[in-house]
Amino acid sequence: MAKITVAVDGTTYQDEVEPRMLLVQYLREKVGKTGTLVGCDTSNCGACTVLFDGVSVKSCSVLAVQADGHEVTTIEGLAGINGELHPVQQAFHDKHALQCGYCTPGMIMRSVSLLKENPHPTEAEIREGLNGNLCRCTGYQNIVAAVQQAADALATAGGAR
Protein backbone atom coordinates (compact mmCIF):
# COMPACT_ATOMS: atom_id res chain seq x y z
CA MET A 1 0.00 0.00 0.00
CA ALA A 2 1.17 3.50 -0.76
CA LYS A 3 0.22 6.67 1.02
CA ILE A 4 -0.97 9.48 -1.21
CA THR A 5 -2.21 13.03 -0.77
CA VAL A 6 -4.47 14.26 -3.54
CA ALA A 7 -6.57 17.39 -3.89
CA VAL A 8 -9.86 16.50 -5.55
CA ASP A 9 -12.38 19.22 -6.35
CA GLY A 10 -10.84 21.46 -3.72
CA THR A 11 -10.67 18.98 -0.86
CA THR A 12 -7.42 17.32 0.22
CA TYR A 13 -7.56 13.57 0.73
CA GLN A 14 -4.94 11.32 2.33
CA ASP A 15 -5.28 7.63 1.60
CA GLU A 16 -3.49 4.31 1.55
CA VAL A 17 -3.94 2.77 -1.86
CA GLU A 18 -2.76 -0.33 -3.66
CA PRO A 19 -0.07 0.68 -6.14
CA ARG A 20 -2.14 -0.88 -8.93
CA MET A 21 -5.22 1.18 -8.21
CA LEU A 22 -6.25 3.38 -11.12
CA LEU A 23 -7.03 7.03 -10.54
CA VAL A 24 -10.60 6.46 -11.72
CA GLN A 25 -11.04 3.63 -9.21
CA TYR A 26 -9.62 5.87 -6.50
CA LEU A 27 -11.98 8.69 -7.42
CA ARG A 28 -15.06 6.48 -7.57
CA GLU A 29 -14.39 3.97 -4.83
CA LYS A 30 -12.33 5.92 -2.27
CA VAL A 31 -13.31 9.55 -2.74
CA GLY A 32 -16.91 8.91 -3.80
CA LYS A 33 -16.66 10.91 -7.00
CA THR A 34 -19.17 8.74 -8.82
CA GLY A 35 -19.83 11.50 -11.35
CA THR A 36 -16.73 10.22 -13.13
CA LEU A 37 -17.67 7.12 -15.10
CA VAL A 38 -15.99 4.12 -16.66
CA GLY A 39 -16.98 3.13 -20.19
CA CYS A 40 -14.21 0.84 -21.40
CA ASP A 41 -11.07 -0.97 -20.36
CA THR A 42 -8.76 0.09 -23.15
CA SER A 43 -8.58 3.89 -22.68
CA ASN A 44 -10.59 4.47 -25.84
CA CYS A 45 -13.85 5.98 -24.68
CA GLY A 46 -12.80 8.89 -22.48
CA ALA A 47 -15.82 8.67 -20.16
CA CYS A 48 -13.45 8.91 -17.19
CA THR A 49 -11.72 12.13 -18.30
CA VAL A 50 -10.81 14.52 -15.48
CA LEU A 51 -8.50 17.49 -15.19
CA PHE A 52 -5.09 16.67 -13.72
CA ASP A 53 -3.39 19.89 -12.66
CA GLY A 54 -5.76 21.58 -15.07
CA VAL A 55 -5.11 19.35 -18.07
CA SER A 56 -7.45 16.61 -19.26
CA VAL A 57 -6.39 13.01 -18.68
CA LYS A 58 -8.23 9.73 -18.93
CA SER A 59 -8.26 8.74 -15.29
CA CYS A 60 -8.17 5.06 -16.25
CA SER A 61 -4.73 5.70 -17.69
CA VAL A 62 -3.29 7.21 -14.53
CA LEU A 63 -2.44 5.34 -11.36
CA ALA A 64 -3.73 6.76 -8.12
CA VAL A 65 -0.17 6.89 -6.81
CA GLN A 66 0.77 9.15 -9.72
CA ALA A 67 -1.75 11.65 -8.44
CA ASP A 68 0.16 12.01 -5.16
CA GLY A 69 0.76 15.71 -4.63
CA HIS A 70 -1.41 16.72 -7.56
CA GLU A 71 -4.72 18.40 -8.07
CA VAL A 72 -7.66 16.67 -9.74
CA THR A 73 -10.87 18.31 -10.93
CA THR A 74 -13.82 16.08 -11.75
CA ILE A 75 -17.16 16.90 -13.29
CA GLU A 76 -18.43 17.41 -9.75
CA GLY A 77 -15.97 20.24 -9.14
CA LEU A 78 -16.65 22.16 -12.32
CA ALA A 79 -19.68 24.23 -11.40
CA GLY A 80 -19.30 27.27 -9.17
CA ILE A 81 -19.82 26.95 -5.42
CA ASN A 82 -23.25 28.50 -5.77
CA GLY A 83 -24.14 25.93 -8.41
CA GLU A 84 -23.52 28.21 -11.35
CA LEU A 85 -22.81 26.03 -14.33
CA HIS A 86 -19.49 26.27 -16.15
CA PRO A 87 -20.03 27.66 -19.67
CA VAL A 88 -19.27 24.22 -21.11
CA GLN A 89 -21.90 22.59 -18.90
CA GLN A 90 -24.38 25.27 -19.81
CA ALA A 91 -23.65 24.83 -23.50
CA PHE A 92 -24.12 21.05 -23.33
CA HIS A 93 -27.58 21.69 -21.88
CA ASP A 94 -28.48 24.48 -24.29
CA LYS A 95 -27.40 22.58 -27.40
CA HIS A 96 -28.84 19.19 -26.42
CA ALA A 97 -25.34 17.76 -26.49
CA LEU A 98 -26.18 14.81 -24.27
CA GLN A 99 -28.75 12.07 -24.34
CA CYS A 100 -28.00 9.18 -21.97
CA GLY A 101 -25.37 11.29 -20.25
CA TYR A 102 -22.81 8.55 -19.78
CA CYS A 103 -20.05 10.04 -21.94
CA THR A 104 -20.99 13.52 -20.76
CA PRO A 105 -18.70 14.00 -17.73
CA GLY A 106 -15.68 13.00 -19.78
CA MET A 107 -16.85 14.89 -22.82
CA ILE A 108 -17.35 18.07 -20.78
CA MET A 109 -13.98 17.80 -19.01
CA ARG A 110 -12.19 17.19 -22.29
CA SER A 111 -14.00 20.18 -23.83
CA VAL A 112 -12.92 22.40 -20.95
CA SER A 113 -9.33 21.37 -21.54
CA LEU A 114 -9.66 21.73 -25.30
CA LEU A 115 -10.85 25.30 -24.94
CA LYS A 116 -7.92 26.10 -22.69
CA GLU A 117 -5.55 24.73 -25.30
CA ASN A 118 -7.34 26.44 -28.15
CA PRO A 119 -9.86 29.11 -27.16
CA HIS A 120 -11.12 29.64 -30.71
CA PRO A 121 -11.23 26.23 -32.37
CA THR A 122 -12.66 25.58 -35.81
CA GLU A 123 -15.22 22.82 -36.23
CA ALA A 124 -12.50 20.51 -37.50
CA GLU A 125 -10.28 21.36 -34.53
CA ILE A 126 -13.13 20.59 -32.15
CA ARG A 127 -13.77 17.23 -33.78
CA GLU A 128 -10.06 16.43 -33.71
CA GLY A 129 -9.85 17.62 -30.12
CA LEU A 130 -12.67 15.29 -29.04
CA ASN A 131 -11.31 12.33 -30.97
CA GLY A 132 -10.50 10.45 -27.77
CA ASN A 133 -14.01 10.68 -26.35
CA LEU A 134 -16.74 8.42 -27.67
CA CYS A 135 -20.46 9.16 -27.63
CA ARG A 136 -22.98 6.62 -28.88
CA CYS A 137 -26.10 8.79 -28.64
CA THR A 138 -25.65 12.19 -30.23
CA GLY A 139 -23.73 11.65 -33.45
CA TYR A 140 -21.50 14.49 -32.14
CA GLN A 141 -23.12 17.32 -34.07
CA ASN A 142 -24.66 18.93 -31.00
CA ILE A 143 -21.51 18.33 -28.95
CA VAL A 144 -19.54 20.27 -31.54
CA ALA A 145 -22.15 23.03 -31.40
CA ALA A 146 -21.94 23.11 -27.62
CA VAL A 147 -18.17 23.53 -27.66
CA GLN A 148 -18.60 26.35 -30.16
CA GLN A 149 -21.13 28.05 -27.89
CA ALA A 150 -18.85 27.60 -24.88
CA ALA A 151 -15.92 29.05 -26.81
CA ASP A 152 -17.99 32.13 -27.57
CA ALA A 153 -19.19 32.41 -23.99
CA LEU A 154 -15.68 32.07 -22.58
CA ALA A 155 -14.35 34.64 -25.04
CA THR A 156 -17.10 37.06 -24.01
CA ALA A 157 -16.27 36.46 -20.38
CA GLY A 158 -12.63 37.22 -21.11
CA GLY A 159 -11.55 33.66 -20.69
CA ALA A 160 -11.67 34.22 -16.93
CA ARG A 161 -12.48 30.59 -16.26
Partner 1 sequence: MTTTEAPPAEIGRPRTRKEDQHLITGHSTFTDSMVLPGMVHLAMVRSPLAHATITSIDTTAARKAPGVVGVWTGRDFPEQGGLACAWPITPDMKSPVHLPVPTDTVNHVGEIVAVIAARTKAEAVDAVELVDVQYSELPVVTDLAAARDGSAPVIHGDLGTNVSATWVFDSGAAGTGGDASAAIEAARSDPDQIVVERTFRQQRLIPAYMEPRSTVCDPNGAGDQITIWSATQIPHILRTMLTLSQGIPEGKLRIIAPDVGGGFGGKLEVTPEEVATIMVARQLGKPAKYTETRSETMMAAHHGRDQIQHLTMSARKDGTITGFDVDLTANMGAYLALVGPGVPILGAFMYNAIYKIPAYRFSCTNVFTNEVMTDAYRGAGRPEATFAIERMMDELATELGMDPIEVRRRNWIRHEEFPFTTVAGLTYDSGNYEEATDKALRHFGYDDLRAEQQRRRESGDRIQLGIGTSTFTEMCGLAPSRVLGSLSYGAGGWEAASIRMLPTGVVEVVTGISPHGQGHVTGFSQIVADRLGVPFENVKILHGDTNISAKGLDTYGSRSLAVGGIAVVKAADKVIAKAKTIAAHLLEASEDDIDFAHGSFTVRGTESSVTIGDIALATFTGHNLPDGVESSLDSEAVFDPENFSFPHGTHLCAAEVDTETGKVTIRKYVAVDDVGVVINPLLVDGQVHGGLAQGIAQALYEEAQYSADGQLTSGTFVDYLVPSAVDLPDYITDKTITPSTSNPLGVKGVGEAGTIASTPAVVNAVLDAVRQFGVADIPMPMTPARVWQAIQDGSTAAGSNSSSTGGAA
Site for partner 1 in 53-72 (CB under 8 A): none
In the complex, least distance from residue 110 CB atom to partner 1, rounded to whole angstroms: 11
Task: Report yes or no: 71 and 7 within 8 Å, Cβ to Cβ.
Answer: yes
Count of CA atoms in the C-beta half-sphere (13 A) of 97: 27
CA 97 to chain centre: 15
| Helices first, then strands: H and E counts in the chain | 5, 5
35 sits near partner 1 (criterion: CB under 8 A): yes
103 sits near partner 1 (criterion: CB under 8 A): yes
119 sits near partner 1 (criterion: CB under 8 A): no
Q: Which of 8, 17, 23, 45 binds partner 1 (CB under 8 A)?
A: 45
99 sits near partner 1 (criterion: CB under 8 A): yes
24 sits near partner 1 (criterion: CB under 8 A): no
The CA distance from 53 to 85, in Å, is: 20
Neighbouring C-beta atoms of residue 53, cutoff 10 Å: 12
Q: Rule CB under 8 A: which residues touch partner 1?
A: 18, 21, 25, 28, 33-42, 44-45, 47, 74-76, 78-79, 85, 89, 92-94, 96, 98-105, 108, 123, 126-128, 130-144
